[in-house]
Amino acid sequence: MGFLYSQFCVRPSYPEQSFADQTVLITGANIGLGLEAARHVVRLGASRVILGVRNVPAGEAAKKDIETSMGRSGICEVWEVDLASHKSVLAFGDRIAQLPRLDAAILNAAVATTEFGIAEGFERSITVNVVNTLLLSLLILPLLQKTGKNVPGSQPRLSFVVSEVHAWCSLPEWTEDHILKTLSDQSKAKMNERYPVSKLLEVLLVQELAGRVRGSEVIINMINPGLCHSALGRDQGFLFQAFKFFLARSTEVGSRTLLAGISAGLESHGAYMTDGHVENTALSPFVRSDEGRQARIKLWNEVSDIFESLRPGIMQNV
């Protein structure tokens, strides 16, 4: 009932907060919500917008479209990053770290597929939506913190695009010794639930990350944009596309929630935002349960080992 009310009766506010002189990073910015969020950020005065994309020619087309529509040139930069590749994410994170400042980041890139595939030793959705999204956040976190300390009046923000579908699944695998490896076993994988499960894992990890970082340094939050017209889920068949046709928000309206995330105050630190507002009661019962908290810690320890194997010392960033 809450989902239908939100889709039909709630229209997120049009973004108006200035990003003048700010540097903003958006992944998955060549299409859909990421592209429209980037357009808003350029409209609102950002001086530098990094479009993190896997498809560089599509990114260049997005850059041209954004800057032409907003009448501002030389603002967007297209940087390649493939979240299915550890090497690509590490290189991208290192490149971001060389920027003089980073005021806000929207980690939006994701995949939604029912086809099983392996990337970097894990099922691809787990690698992209969970492991490498969190890896990237740890790589850029020091620059966000540095910006907050060195730029007068700055309040850096790190926003993760999650989804309400995290509450539409269970996670029995949390009791296994290795949660992500178990989820990456093709003989056990329930791919029709994979996108919701990946977003549940992301919610748990972002909660833990936010609990280890002071909001006064970097505000970390989670954004649920609702069901929107975008390229996400384009491989999920006719029924899903029909469902979207009748229920989905426009891409621009959905993107407003992403801007709400990087405009929100300290009250949003560690919080789940839906329709552009903090709504922690909308988190799934599992996430708010004792079992959910145990799963969160166990999962954090698991990904910490992965991250340390990829970049020794990285966990000192939190």
CA dihedral 305, 307, 308, 309 (to 10 degrees): 90
Which of 214, 198, 251, 206 shows the shortest CA–CA distance to 229? 251
- The Cα–Cα gap between 1 and 4 comes to 5
Residue 220's H or E segment, with its range, is strand 219-224
Q: What is the pTM of this model?
A: 0.92
Q: What's the pLDDT tens digit per position in 165-217?
A: 999 999 999 999 999 999 999 999 999 999 999 999 999 999 999 999 999 99
Does residue 64 have an active-site annotation?
no
Under the phi-then-psi rule, with left for phi > 0, alpha for psi from -120 to 50, and beta for the rest, what region is 213? Answer: beta
Catalytic hit among 195, 244, 272, 298: 195
Any idea where the domains of the chain sit in the sequence? Answer: 2-308
- The Cα–Cα gap between 200 and 222 comes to 11
Does residue 199 have an active-site annotation?
yes
- Split at pLDDT 50, 70, 90, the class of 242 is very low
DSSP string over 190-217? -GGGHHHHHHHHHHHHHHHHHHTS-TTT
Mapping DSSP to helix (H, G, I), strand (E, B) and coil, where does residue 102 land?
coil
- Split at pLDDT 50, 70, 90, the class of 246 is very low
- The Cα–Cα gap between 280 and 274 comes to 9
* Contact status, residue 38 vs residue 76, Cβ threshold 8 Å: yes
- The single residue listed with the structure tokens 């390229």 is 231
CATH of 2-308 among 3.30.1330.10, 3.40.50.720, 3.40.50.300, 3.40.430.10: 3.40.50.720
Residue-level pLDDT at 1: 47
Residue-level pLDDT at 250: 79
- The Cα–Cα gap between 103 and 259 comes to 13
* Contact status, residue 182 vs residue 120, Cβ threshold 8 Å: no
Q: What's the pLDDT tens digit per position in 5-49?
A: 565 556 787 999 999 999 999 999 999 999 999 999 999 999 999
Sign of the dihedral defined by the CA atoms of residues 224, 263, 51, 205, in that order: negative
- The Cα–Cα gap between 66 and 73 comes to 9
- Split at pLDDT 50, 70, 90, the class of 234 is low
Catalytic hit among 199, 244, 272, 298: 199
Average pLDDT, the chain: 92
Long-range contacts of 95-100 (CB under 8 A, 24+ apart): 96/25, 96/50, 96/139, 96/140, 96/143, 97/139, 97/140, 97/142, 97/143, 99/23, 99/48, 99/50, 99/143, 100/23
Return the higher-pLDDT residue of 81 and 243.
81
Q: Tell how strand 122-123 and strand 118-119 pair up.
A: antiparallel
